[in-house]
Structure formats: C-alpha cells, structure tokens
Chains A and B, each alone.
Chain A
Amino acid sequence: MATETLPATFRDITRAELEALKAAGLFKEERYIHAPQGAEIEVEFPAGAPLKKVLNLCSNNYLGLSSHPDVLAAAHAGLDRRGYGMSSVRFICGTQDIHRELENRLTEFLGTEDTLLFSSCLDANAGVFEAILSDKDVMIADRLVHASIVDGMRLCKAMQDTYKHSDMGHLEEKLVEHAGKRFRLVITDGVFSMDGDLAKLDEIVALCQKHDTMVFVDDSHASGFIGRTGRGTPERFGVFGKIDVITTTFGKALGGASGGCVSGRREIVELCRQRARPYLFSNTLASVIVAATLKVLDLVSATTERRDRLEHNARYWRGLLTQAGFDIKAGESPIVPVMLYNAKLAQDVARDLFAEGVYVVGFFFPVVPKGQARIRTQLSAGHTTAHLDKAIEAFRKVGKKHDILGKSKNEIVDRYGL
C-alpha cells in the first residue's frame, strides 16, 4: 500500500521537467544576501560559497530608500504603535487609520481621486480589470505590458486585444475597430521593465480623449522618480491628473518592502473595494509597511534630491557604457539594458561580472523576446560616481574577454548566434 497520497509517477515527471529546465538553461537559482538591501551587499552564491562583497546593479531600489534610517525608524514606530499583524482582510477588521491615511496621501501624490491598497501591485493588477469591466467592454494593451497585467486581463471577461509596442497608429486602429464596445480601456506600463523605455503617455491620452476611451497605467517602475517631482510618467508627459486608473508598487522606489495600490477615478476605486478579489480575500497590508511608506512619501515630497541623483546616475552610467563600446537600449530611465542577443552569452557575461564584483542578471526568452537576450542594469540614487566607475571597469574587462566591445548587433550575432 502506498504510504503517501502523491502518485508514484508525480515525482518522476516533475523531476524530468526540472531537469529539462536546467538543460535549457532556464533554471533560476536564488543568491542569498547577508545584508540589508543597498548599493553594496554581501552575497552567498552558489549556496555554501564564502560571502562576496559585490556592487548591486540589479535591484529596484531606485531611490536608495530600502534601508534608509528614517524609513527604518518609521517602520519601528509603526510596529510599536499599530502592532505587527492585523489577522484580517480589510473589510472585516483589517483597516487602521493609517491605511486610510496612506490611501489619501497616495491620491494626492498620484493626482487621482481615490486609492485602494493591495498586498502587492501584482494583486492590484490581478483584481482591477475584473472588478471594473464586463463582457460588453474591451481591454487594449501594449504588447510589452508586465506579466501581472496579462494575468489580470485573463481573469476578466472583457474582450482582450493588443497593440504593437508604443505604436500609436496601431493603437488608433484598434480603438476604431472596437468603437462598438460599451467601454474601451487602453492599458500600458508607464516605464517598460525590460527595455526601460517610457510609454508615450501624452499621445495615448490624446488618442483616448479623441476616442472616448479610458487609460490605465502601471507606474511601478516610475512612481517616486520619473517626472520633475517624481510623481511618475503622467507628470513626465504633462498628463498628471488625466489618467483614469494607475496601479503602482511600494516594492521598488517607494521603500521596496511590498504592497501596491489601485488609484484613479472615485467610482473605479470604489468598485475595486467592493469586488476586487485580491482585496476581498487576502490579508490587509501590514501596518509596519504602511507606516514606513507614509515616511517614504514625506521624503520624496520634501526634496527632489534623490530622484535628481538617480537621473544623474542613469545619464552617467549610460555614457560610461556607450563610451566603453557596449550596445545599450537608448532611453532616459534608470533601467539600462546591455544588449547581448544570445542567451548563453548573457549568462556568461553575468557570471563573469559577478566574479569581478558586480551583481547583475542575464535575461533571455521567455522573459524577453527570442534573440533579445541582455543584462538589465538598474541604477539607484544610492550609487556613487565611484561605484559606477568601479562597475564600468568590470564591464570593460568582461566585455573585452568576450570580444563584444564596439561590436554591432550583427557582429555579436554572427559570432554567438541568436
């Protein structure tokens, strides 16, 4: 008689699947960090290896606030005043005064009418579409939106469509094609996470106004630092206050712990409060994160110093990489992809950079399109010029080893393949 309920073949089949992932070079391994998040961290990799001090060029800690003393102090104070857990979803007994305070602060910060907190932006994206649209409506998304938006759209009964990445002509064709629908919602990331480019929000808003269509923006890679005062891509493109739905995260620039929100037109947010399943059926955002995020909003509202520093770092780093002869995706955001095209090359370069004391990760299909493998570097206000000067030396050394400096896409592809 079997001693467990697991079918005898389950382990065999799943082990084979895991081995296939390894054979295809798609197996992900965690690196254990023995330090708070920051520009310099101590990493154990592979597991059991001695700790190595490395420069972190792959975190979403854009403003360097993840371990900021004022944020830590606010978290400690929040813990003391409002406790650790709420042991409830929001609508039963999980809403404290500070949850509503943070929602009001975010509404003001994002230039919207109301805000609802979620445990993550993934949860916000999973719940928002189903809560506000029906089978009479259509969702028209940029083809490069984040995976959590794709998942959220799949949970919604509204018709789905997509437009070519940032192609306004194609978007308008789709708006015309779906003119018969009750509501149309155009869906885009503010900053696209893999390429680091910005959605053309001014053009999107103009098109949506022309076609009586609503606009949704996931500003997770923008809130806190894109735009002159860090209010995100709507501020950057002069359409602050004109976006119908914004989702964003506190897990990147805004402290980096976790949590997110849906912010937008009052009725949209209220429908989410009534219907969004991740809000209804998942625990409230921990008070300690709420308290710390309030402090983060104080810090980013008091001065633009950190986002200015980040902007400077991004420009400086883009310049260093270009001078060194790397092929990078042009842009203005602190996401700077170094294009290598070949998946194995991306992994080899990342491994060699780690050996040189720079922590970056190679990205390849299915995370990015086939033949578009890259190393995504991400800047932080916590980086100093000295950090970046040190990092570029490592990049130069590794680039020279693989003979990719000054090489065009075609030359890299000819040598390494796609």
Chain B
Amino acid sequence: MDELKKTILDYVRREYLEEGDERELKTDTPLITGGIVDSFSMVSLKRFLERKYAVKIPDADATPEAFNTVDSIVELVERFKAVEV
C-alpha cells in the first residue's frame, strides 16, 4: 500500500474508531455511509489532509461522496495536489 493511503487510513483509525473497535478498516471501507465518520466530525479529516499535504480543498469538493472511502479521499488529495503544482 502506498504511503498516502497508509497515512490516511492510520489517521481515520486513530481519529474515528473507538478504543476496542475491532472493525477492519480497508481503503474501500465506506466511512460516511458505513456510519464511521459523519458530516459533523468530517471537518477534522479535511483539516488534517489540508495541513499534511499543503492543499486547499474547496468546501464544494469536500462532499460526503468524496470522503466516503480512503480510496476516494486519496483521489481528492491527488487532484488538488496536482492543482497546487
């Protein structure tokens, strides 16, 4: 697994799973529709990505769909990293 996916997966696990939560988290696990992350707590994930990868994700692009899996989050980050370059 590449570094980007691993970093985001680790953050999601640390930030959103309760202690003792044994759910297996993979890059295609639904986070929003699966009830792991909700729109209220999603802001910290967006801020983490922006800070860690020095990108600005416009609110219009930070949709629940775009944040639904680690795979889709990686796509989003890469899209805006490309814009930054």
Contact = CB atoms under 8 A, between A and B. Distances in A.
Interface of A: 141, 143, 150, 160-162, 164-165, 167, 365, 369-371
B43 A161 contact: yes
Contacts of A371: 35
B44 A161 contact: yes
Most chain A CB atoms below 10 A, which of B16, B18, B40, B43: B40
Nearest to A160: B43
A168 to B, nearest CB: 12
Given A160-B43, A162-B41, 15 more contacts: A141-B40, A143-B40, A143-B41, A150-B40, A161-B43, A161-B44, A161-B47, A162-B40, A164-B16, A164-B18, A165-B18, A167-B18, A369-B35, A370-B34, A371-B35
A393 B45 CA distance: 47
Q: Is the interface of B mostly helix, strand, loop or mixed?
A: loop
A126 to B, nearest CB: 15
B23 to A, nearest CB: 11
A124 to B, nearest CB: 19
Contacts of A165: 18
Contacts of A369: 35
Counting from the closest, the 9 A-B pairs by CB-CB distance are A370-B35, A162-B41, A369-B35, A160-B43, A150-B40, A143-B41, A161-B44, A164-B18, A162-B40
18 contacts: A141-B40, A143-B38, A143-B41, A160-B43, A161-B44, A161-B47, A162-B40, A162-B41, A162-B43, A164-B16, A164-B18, A167-B18, A167-B19, A365-B35, A369-B35, A370-B34, A370-B35, A371-B35
Interface in B11-44: 16, 18-19, 34-35, 38, 40-41, 43-44
Contacts of A150: 40
A61 B20 CA distance: 36
